[in-house]
Amino acid sequence: MKRRTAGWLYGSIVGLAIVAAGGASAVAGELNFLGWEGYADESFVKEFESATGCKVTATYVGSNDDFAPKLASGGGVYDIVSVSADTTGVLVAAGLVEPLDMSKIEHWNDIYELFRNAKGINRDGQVYGVPLTWGSIPLMYRTDKITEEPDSYAVLWDERYKGKIALWDDKSAIFNTARLLGYDNVYSLTDEQLEAVKQKLIEEKPLLRKYWSTAGELINLYASGEVWISNTWGGYQVAELQKQGIPVKEFLPKEKADGWADNWMIVKGSPNQDCAYQYINFTTSARGQCGISSVTGYSAANPVAAKACMTSEEFEAKHQDDIDYVDSLVMWEQPDRLDVYTNTWNAIKGAE
């Protein structure tokens, strides 16, 4: 994805973002972030730190399942988390995050209504999360190794690619495998359906090179030639590999791809809430939205900000002008029986 580095972006828009983030009155402090790669990239976070005095320290996760245990055992280590919509409700229910003071959220009304109204960040009349980015979970493959263009999740079971397939270490594998088997109720599977999904994923295991956990790990697997095809977070990994000259392409399978929306949430009892609110405002401003989108390739949750800093071509390519694109995806939700899904995924990984 093309980065916009023109003076107007790093000048006037940066100035506006700094004002939104607290301006000259900001109090020096720190911000300990737990979340996804790309949301605290130096390309934009240094500007935030310089303007506010808030030092950002990032710890990255490889799955949404990492958030609850890390927060529960963190002992107050983290201040802010970036959580996908299928997990926000878990953190709210567990009391690990706190309701937001909406008077401190600068760009709330500019964010897509679809994401603002998400069940996982709204409870009992209070708001617990601010949408940040959104996108899909496509499949990706090396075009120099796989010349027959795939169109289905079934390719992850193709014997021709034995030892060259990778799968994200995340329970979302259950969702897309269920769709492959013809189940539409992917978040409320019966015991019998879950067992069928489990057996299908166990059947895949001899074909796998590895379960991958982080964006960097998958990039290295492709770059070394160890992996030719996998699911991917989309955008970010493709762009990084293409920078290295690795020919890769992503596609949405005919069974539909997973869709996701990430949200900022403030950890309960955070001593650095001033910095947390400033970072939320900065990253949902034009500078932050395009800074993150340029690094990751993800779509922005704030289309007003995105239009101010993206080219018209990029705005269209990232479906910023067509939020109905979400309907072509199966957006993540918290499964009805989260514990059963989690146990099923762990049983799949532990199977011989």
Mean per-residue pLDDT of the chain: 90
Confirm if 257 and 176 have CB atoms less than 8 A apart: yes
Confirm if 330 and 185 have CB atoms less than 8 A apart: no
**What pLDDT does 298 receive?**
94
**What pLDDT does 73 receive?**
85
Question: What are the DSSP calls for 40-92, one per residue?
Answer: T-HHHHHHHHHHH-EEEEEEE-SSGGGHHHHHHHSSS--SEEEEETTTHHHHH
**What pLDDT does 249 receive?**
95
Say yes or no to pLDDT of 22 above 50.
Answer: no
**Domains defined for the chain, CATH in brackets:** 7-135+260-321 (3.40.190.10), 139-256+333-350 (3.40.190.10)
**What pLDDT does 28 receive?**
60
CA pair distance 135, 151, nearest whole angstrom: 19
**How is the beta sheet containing 229-231 ordered, strand by strand?**
208-212, 165-168, 229-231, 139-142, 248-251
Confirm if 254 and 152 have CB atoms less than 8 A apart: yes
153-207 residue pLDDT tens: 999 999 999 999 999 999 999 999 999 999 999 999 999 999 999 999 999 999 9
For 128, left (φ over 0), alpha (ψ -120 to 50), or beta? alpha
Q: Is 22 helix (H, G, I), strand (E, B) or coil?
A: coil
Kindly give, in sequence order, each residue whose CB lies less than 8 Å from that of residue 263, ignoring residues fewer than 6 positions away: 82, 83, 84, 85, 88, 115, 118, 120, 121, 129, 130, 131, 132
**What pLDDT does 76 receive?**
72
CA pair distance 324, 125, nearest whole angstrom: 26
The mean pLDDT of 104-117, rounded to a whole number, is 97
Outline where the chain has alpha helix (H): 7-8, 14-21, 42-52, 67-73, 88-93, 113-116, 172-180, 191-204, 215-223, 236-243, 273-283, 286-296, 303-309, 312-317, 338-350
275-298 residue pLDDT tens: 999 999 999 999 999 999 999 999
CA pair distance 292, 39, nearest whole angstrom: 6
CA pair distance 137, 292, nearest whole angstrom: 17
- Band the pLDDT of 254: cuts 50, 70, 90: very high
316-343 residue pLDDT tens: 999 999 999 998 999 999 999 999 999 9
> Between β-strands 258-266 and 330-331, what pairing exists: parallel, antiparallel or unpaired?
parallel
Question: Residue 5 gets which letter from DSSP?
Answer: -
Confirm if 286 and 308 have CB atoms less than 8 A apart: yes
The mean pLDDT of 77-91, rounded to a whole number, is 94
Q: Residue 250: which H helix or E strand, with range?
A: strand 248-251
Q: Is 313 helix (H, G, I), strand (E, B) or coil?
A: helix
**What pLDDT does 208 receive?**
98
Q: Is 230 helix (H, G, I), strand (E, B) or coil?
A: strand
